[in-house]
Amino acid sequence: MNQQQSSDRATPALPRRRLGRTGLDVSVLGFGTAPLGDLFGLLDDATAISAAERAFALGVNLLDSSPLYGHGLAEHRSGTALRRLPRDEIVVCTKVGRWMDPFHERGSGSNFVGGAPHRAVVDYSYDGTMRSVEQSLLRLGTDRIELLLIHDVDIWTHGADAIEARFREAMDGAYVALDKLRSERVVKGIGIGVNEAEMCVRFAKAGTFDTMLLAGRYSLLEQPALAEFLPLAQQQNIGMMLGGVFNSGILATGAVAGAKYNYKDAPPDIMQKVAQIERVCRAHDVALPTAALHFALGHPAVGSLVLGAQTPQEVERNVTALSSPVPSALWRDLKAERLLDADAPVPA
């Protein structure tokens, strides 16, 4: 770590918030490691690891990973970065619901174009969950994980026909395993990580969860989590992490050709709405991604935004955007044009 990075880490640029009832204080920006698993493109080790190190140097203390990301590669790379600073400085969050089979090669069709060659086995059973945790500890090279989330129990991943069986398996298996680890103080908090607010509600009513990571469903573009789930999270003191606050890219790039929404090319109606939001942002001299970050942090249930990054420069842009001022008139105008839910809380 160079002198500049050491100085940055001594004076963190990012504020921290208490994450629900976990007892953990996390930076308002977390480092999401999906890109470190060769998401959509190959990434060399040095660049991937330096991105994580830069995030830590700028005050990020929350690292979010998953066995799925690069079929273990993201956890391997994260572990290398973790070993270069005191372990107590970082809150590590990873997920269960898949373990990696090293004896069978992975199939085709994954968004992780590189990564490890191992096949992902979907398994929400008790034993499968414990196997997943053990593998993650080995890949991360650590003796503990602060937060464990049940991953991808949603219709997006499994389809409408299979979701009921997956939900039962997760509650009867994965939840029981994680609850045991929590009771033994092996982990500080347990939760779920999904793409659907409705599944967050189901899990919140079925068990006792400390934190949840919801991707894409509370953003400047759309707020389906606002009506039921986020009030429930506040009522139960569930610490919220938000992923996908750029909706797979379109709120970072704007409504340009090839812009991505939900991991695919954005459809015309989404392109149109984003273009309208961009127009209002330009009138207030605010960059679209800056507005997206500030809005997502405006809800009182939200503890941290988990942002993926491939390079140190991307990390720096995210931190800079968060420190850029946003006038309150921007939110007023977005609501006046019905581009933002009238009941959505906004930053002061």
List pLDDT tens digits, range 10-45. 444 699 999 999 999 999 999 999 999 988 789 999
Q: State the sign of the Cα–Cα–Cα–Cα dihedral 123, 224, 226, 29.
A: positive
Examine the residue annotation and report whether 101 is marked as an active-site residue of this protein: no
In angstroms, the CA 71 to CA 75 distance is 9
For residue 232, the model assigns a pLDDT of 98
pTM summary value = 0.93
Q: Is the Cβ–Cβ distance between 98 and 67 less than 8 Å?
A: yes
What pLDDT digit, counting tens, does each position of 140-178 carry? 999 999 999 999 999 999 999 999 999 999 999 999 999
Backbone angles phi, psi at 19, to 5 degrees: -95, 90
- As to burial, measured by CB atoms within 10 angstroms (0-12 exposed, 13-18 middle, 19+ buried), residue 177 is buried
Pairing of strands 98-105, 91-96: unpaired
pLDDT of residue 88: 94
121 contact partners, CB below 8 Å, separation of at least 6: 98, 99, 100, 101, 128
Given a cut of 60, whether residue 50 has pLDDT beyond it is: yes
| Angle (deg, nearest 10), helices 126-140 and 73-82 | 50
Taking the C-alpha atoms of residue 52 and residue 243, their distance in angstroms, rounded to an integer, is: 17
95 is catalytic: yes
Contact 268/297 with Cβ under 8 angstroms?
no
Q: What is the mean pLDDT of residues 189-200?
A: 97
Question: Is the model's pLDDT at 3 over the cut of 70?
Answer: no
Question: Which pLDDT does position 207 carry in this prediction?
Answer: 98
Read off the pLDDT of each residue in 278-295 and give the average, rounded to a whole number.
98
The answer to which of 109-113, 215-219, 284-288 has the lowest mean pLDDT is 109-113
- Residue 133: is its pLDDT beyond 90? yes
- Print the SS3 string covering 104-143: EECCCCCCECCCCCEEEEECCCHHHHHHHHHHHHHHHCCC
Q: What is the mean pLDDT of residues 210-234?
A: 97
Closest CA to 124 of 71, 187, 66, 168: 168
At 243, is the secondary structure helix, strand, or coil? strand
Task: Say how far apart CA 255 and CA 331 lie, in whole Å.
Answer: 20
Mean pLDDT of the chain, nearest integer = 94
Q: What is the mean pLDDT of residues 234-245?
A: 97
DSSP state of 286: -
- pLDDT 10s digits, 260-274: 999 889 999 999 999
Residue with tokens 């992490």: 241
Q: Catalytic residue among 8, 95, 123, 188, which?
A: 95
Tokens representing 264 are: 């695919």
Report the pLDDT value the prediction gives residue 140, as an integer from 0 to 100. Answer: 98
Residues 325, 285: Cα–Cα separation, whole Å: 10
Q: What is the pLDDT of residue 11?
A: 42
- Do the beta carbons of residue 237 and residue 265 sit within 8 Å? no
Residue pair 117/87 in contact (Cβ under 8 Å)? The answer is no
Of 25, 44, 45, 69, which is the active-site residue? 69
- Give me the pLDDT at residue 12, please: 47
Query: Which domains can be identified in the chain, with CATH numbers?
Result: 24-336 (3.20.20.100)
* pLDDT beyond 50 at 1: no
Share of the chain above pLDDT 90, in %: 90
Mean pLDDT of 173-191: 97
Helix axis angle for 45-57 and 312-323, nearest 10°, is 30
What's residue 8's pLDDT?
46
Q: Give yes or no for a contact between 239 and 20, defined as CB atoms under 8 angstroms apart.
A: yes
Return the pLDDT at 250.
96
Which of 96, 88, 101, 197 lies closest to 144, judged by CA?
88
More confident residue, 165 or 2: 165
Per annotation, catalytic residue among 64, 123, 152, 154 = 64
Q: DSSP per residue over 85-101, as a string?
A: S-GGG-EEEEEESEEEE
Mean local confidence (pLDDT), 229-257: 96
Two tokens, residue 253: 């790039």
pLDDT band for 106, please (50, 70, 90 cuts): confident
Q: What is the mean pLDDT of residues 43-61?
A: 96
> Active-site residue 69, yes or no?
yes
Q: How far apart are the first and last CA of the chain?
A: 37
